[in-house]
Structures are given as structure tokens and as C-alpha cells.
């Protein structure tokens, strides 16, 4: 299905964008606290893009980084992990 809306002689794109995570990984990070002591944390990095549900167009590829607690609750990231686990599970 095309995402063009005709208004007079001009066509305007009208997409239905949905954000999707294509890959995700954990990254260790070392910062310092206010006393200069090292603090070891883990962050989540996700590679995202937006995809149109109607025509399949892709736009706005970007990466985001979150604290581990936020990344473990991100609905978009969890959907990516479920899809990856389902694709990797052996079929019987």
C-alpha cells in the first residue's frame, strides 16, 4: 500500500511510523564518583530505526544508550529480544 495522499495535483506522504530495535548489547562503563573513586556500571546500547507499517519505508537510523535498569524495562528493546530468542530457538 502506498503512503501518498492526493490533494489537488500534489501528493503528500502519510506514513505510519513505528520504532523498532534491530540490535542491542551491554556495554561496561567506568566512571568516577564525587570522591574520584572508580564506579563500574553497565549500560544498554540499542540500534533503532523507524519503519512504516503501511509501505515498509525505513528512516532515522540511530543508537541510544540507557542505564541498565531503564534498558531492562524498555518495551521496544524487550520486543527485539523476544523476536531474537524466537528466531534462535530450535524448532521441533
For residue range 24-56, what is the model confidence (pLDDT) as tens digits?
999 998 989 999 999 999 999 999 999 988 888
Which strands make up the sheet holding 17-32, listed edge to edge? 17-32, 38-52, 58-67
Question: Mean pLDDT over residues 49-68, rounded?
Answer: 88
User: How many percent of the chain have pLDDT more than 70?
Assistant: 83
Q: Compute φ and ψ for 57, nearest 5 degrees.
A: -65, 145
Domain positions in the chain? 18-85
Contacts of 74 (CB under 8 A, 6+ apart): 44, 46, 66
Confidence of residue 92 (pLDDT cuts 50, 70, 90): low
This prediction's pTM: 0.69
Amino acid at each position: 500500500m502506498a503512503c501518498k495522499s492526493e490533494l489537488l495535483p500534489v501528493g503528500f506522504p502519510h506514513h505510519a511510523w513505528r520504532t523498532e530495535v534491530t540490535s542491542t548489547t551491554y556495554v561496561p562503563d567506568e566512571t568516577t564518583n564525587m570522591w574520584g573513586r572508580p564506579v563500574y556500571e553497565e549500560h544498554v546500547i540499542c540500534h533503532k530505526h523507524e519503519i512504516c507499517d503501511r509501505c515498509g519505508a525505513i528512516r532515522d537510523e540511530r543508537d541510544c544508550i540507557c542505564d541498565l535498569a531503564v534498558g531492562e524495562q524498555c518495551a521496544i528493546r524487550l520486543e527485539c529480544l523476544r523476536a531474537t530468542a524466537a528466531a534462535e530457538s530450535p524448532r521441533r
